[in-house]
Structure 1
Amino acid sequence: MKHQSYPRAVVIGGSLGGLLAATSLRAAGWQVDVFESSPNQLDTRGGGIVLQPDVLHAARYAGVALPNPAGVRSGERIYLDRNDNIVERLYIPQTQTAWSLLYRAMKDALPAQSLHAGETFTDFEQDGDEVIVRFDSGRTERANLLIGADGIRSTLRQRLLPDVTPAYAGYVAWRGLVPEPDLPAHAADMLRDRFAFQHGAGHSALAYLIPGERDETRVGERRWNWVWYRRYSEDVLKQLLVDRYGIARTRSLPPGAMKQTDIEQLRRDAQAELGPTFRALVESTDDPFMQPIVDLRAPQMVFGRAVLIGDAAAVPRPHTAGSTAKAAANAHSLALALDLANGEGMSIDERLARWETEQLQRGKQMTDLGISLGKRLMTVVAPPSQRFSAASGNSMPTSIR
């Protein structure tokens, strides 16, 4: 810690966005407690992530030690046709990591006593320069700042902006993870050291290697990560979101939740629409999972001493590879704004106002880009050279996740 005086922040949401906020603010001299509604560990959620500079900057600022290496490198980016012919190749080196790797690193960097599982936020009130935060258990907490980092369906955002809700974009991302040795040799040979894509009419697939379940990066111990974007009507989506136990879900289907009939249909569709490499990925996945693609952008992020960050404030479509990077940038920049060693004598409220202006603009740019990429990808089959992405900070072909 940098300072003797410790203002306090309460973070709602113990997923990656909340942990990024907590580690960053602690480095800025704040006392931070994180409250997560789920009583369980979250490190089995998520899949592959392109490791962006914003994430590395936030980790470095917060003093969070990432494994070395923190991901798996790829060099070539290839585009396959329906028969697995390489129709275009580019050399764009980058690193892919796992959501679970970042989650564990951020969580391990926080004191255990600052993490509170099984606590559901219900409401808050502002009391001068402080907030009083209430939970379903009857617990109350007093702090100088309340941070909503509780994702797409943020309870805090619903309290502050009840009319701002996620809008279904008309398609979903099927996802899967395959242990490296479990993929047939023909597909592994095509994908190894590469970031691969196959595009079709109204659908698009991509794949790359990420670390193993316990962050392993040695050959043979990693995992293949794949994503397949496909269009569905809202009625069909509702049916897909009913899990194998008959429970209707609203956000996504995590691994192990999908009905067996839907898994079998997904594999039949892969046989009909995907080339041999991507078919092998789908067929080798025991527990595929699914995420509806949604659009959301809050017009405001600061409400007195309550703030929204990450997907609670704006949701960029995954083609930008920007959701985790944006959460990291929100958290890092918030910590810099509130660092007690800086600020030129500005009050906390003045610092928050300046931070909000910058981050709203960032959110707008990323959500606009994601919508543009999604429209191109899901409606028109264009040559790869006519697509682009901001995933590595440059204009370049295709979309990334």
Structure 2
Amino acid sequence: MSPRALVIGGSLGGLLAANTLKTIGWRVDVFERSPHALDSRGGGIVLQPDVLHAFHFAGIRPAGALGVASRDRIYLDRAGDVVRRDHQPQTQTSWNMLHGTMRRALPDACIHPGETLERIEQAGGQVRAVFASGRVETGDLLIGADGARSTVRSLMLPDVRPDYSGYVAWRGLVPEGELDAASRAVLDGVFAFQHDEGEQMLLEYLVPGEDGATAPGQRRWNWVWYRKVPQDSLPALLTDRTGRTHTFSLPPGALPDAQAAVLRADARELLAPQFNALVQKTKEPFVQAILDLAVPRMVFGRVLLLGDAAFVPRPHTAGGAAKAAANALALAQALQRTDQPIEARLKDWEGLQLRAGRNLVDWGRRMGDGIMGVRRAAGYTGSPAGTPDL
């Protein structure tokens, strides 16, 4: 019988792992703690070659374009004037475009929502996953692809946790036709920035519509506004309209009206008119704390960590989805080989992925701290003690 992988986490990393392993003949089952279909709260993503390579390997053939192309990068001052323009073509996609494309490539029977992992047991080259529902599943490999709040990581490395960077990302999506004509004339077809030295940065680009449409008029404006927030102010910022305090982010629809009013007032005062118009038109802005995370290990017998469960780079690297894709593709290629026992192949995979993950996190930390003017205490590493996404 074909070997079986238990994938914990049904977001991008989990679906990348499931699709690439299915391609090499593994049986895969994906267990997601949310009982509902995952939504597009992640917003926009810069489409990187690693994602395309993983799609090609897995035989995923999108029906149409995977994103929206931009030609130039422009920089606006507070008055809304273009103060710099660089020709830098790229493609922007969205969380829901990538997720939907990968989800459709998997049979419904292998997706299991509403399953919360409680513990992991290993013996004799097998791994057992025990879920809160009472469900028990056994496989040849368990992949923790359950994000920055990874349960798998907490079981394997209980002392390793994400570290707050000192700033947050406010985000929003606006249907293309809802923006005024003057703003559209400046922002259409470009990747736009406003950067106030050491204080804030806002960026904007077009992404596919909620249904994946990439035709003009059917797309969405995606914006991200980075702002400093002291750590002791985070709990209040991340408290939703029901009074519940979240750990890392508030999803769309959770922001209290009073917080949304402050955000819009600040946008009127601080942002270029085009960016202010986007913030004002956003019905459900959301916010994410910017984190650093780097693990010292990714493999624990037949259990491994992948994507944001192992490394969380700053979004300025545009490397979050790309990192998960590279992890998943390299894992499938390692498991395809037959020259070594599986444990040796996993060890080789781990060494390469650890090095790449650390480099990406370090690069993102340097870039983000420089952009935002964040100063660190001497000896700061940005990673939990004991350890070595635009």
TM-score, scaled relative to structure 1: 0.92
Q: Which amino acid aligns with 2:92?
A: Q
Aligned-partner Cα distance in 2 for 1:67–1:16: 19
1:75/1:194 contact within 8 Å kept: yes
Q: What stretches of structure 1 move > 2 A for 4+ residues in a row?
A: none
Which AA in structure 1 matches 2:32? E
CA distance in 1, matches of 2:125, 2:346: 13
Whether 1:358 aligns to 2:349 is no
Alignment of 1:373-384 (within 5 A): 373-379=367-373
Which residue number corresponds to residue 384 of structure 2?
A: none
Letter in 2 for 1:19: L
Residue from 19, 22, 28 that aligns with 1:23? 19
**Equivalent residue for 1:338, pick from 329, 335, 339:** 335
Are 1:98 and 2:82 matched, yes or no?
no
Query: Structure 2 counterpart of 1:255, which letter?
Result: P
- Residues 1:320 and 2:314 are matched in the alignment: no
Per the alignment, residue 391 of structure 1 pairs with none
CA distance in 1, matches of 2:369, 2:183: 29
Question: CA offsets, 1:80-130, max 9 Å, x none?
Answer: 111111111110100000110100111111111100000000111111111
Matched, 1:178 2:174: yes
Counterpart amino acid of residue 53 in structure 1: P
2:106 to 98, 103, 110: 110
C-alpha distance in structure 1 between counterparts of 2:153 and 2:329, whole Å: 20
- Please give the alpha-carbon distance, in whole angstroms, between the structure 1 residues aligned to 2:55 and 2:164: 32
Q: C-alpha separation between the residues in 2 aligned to 1:352 and 1:231? A: 39
Tell me the CA shift for residue 247 of structure 1: 1.1
Alpha-carbon separation, structure 2, partners of 1:77 and 1:122: 46
Partner-residue secondary structure (3-state), 1:134: strand
Task: Report the CA distance between 1:44 and its aligned residue.
Answer: 2.9
| Matched position secondary structure for 1:104 | helix
Instruction: Verify the 8 A CA contact 1:66 1:102 in the aligned structure 2.
Output: no
Q: 2:126 aligns with which of 127, 130, 133?
A: 130
CA RMSD after TM alignment = 1.0
The aligned residue for residue 246 of structure 1 is: 243
Deviation, 1:65, is 2.2
Cα distance change on mapping 1:358 and 1:107 into 2, 3 Å: same
Alignment of structure 1 residues 108-257 onto 2, 5 Å: 108-201=104-197, 202-257=199-254
Q: Work out which of the residue numbers 288, 298, 301 in structure 1 matches 2:298.
A: 301
Whole-angstrom distance in 1 between the partners of 2:285 and 2:41: 12
Deviations 1:204-223 (CA, angstroms, capped at 9, x unpaired): 00000000010001111000
Structure 2 unaligned blocks of 5 or more: 375-388
Identity between Structure 1 and Structure 2 (%)? 55
Indicate if the aligned counterparts of 1:13 and 1:34 stay in contact, CA closer than 8 A.
yes
SS in structure 2 at match of 1:319: helix
Structure 1 regions of 5+ residues with no counterpart?
381-399
Letter in 1 for 2:311: A
Q: How many residues align?
A: 375
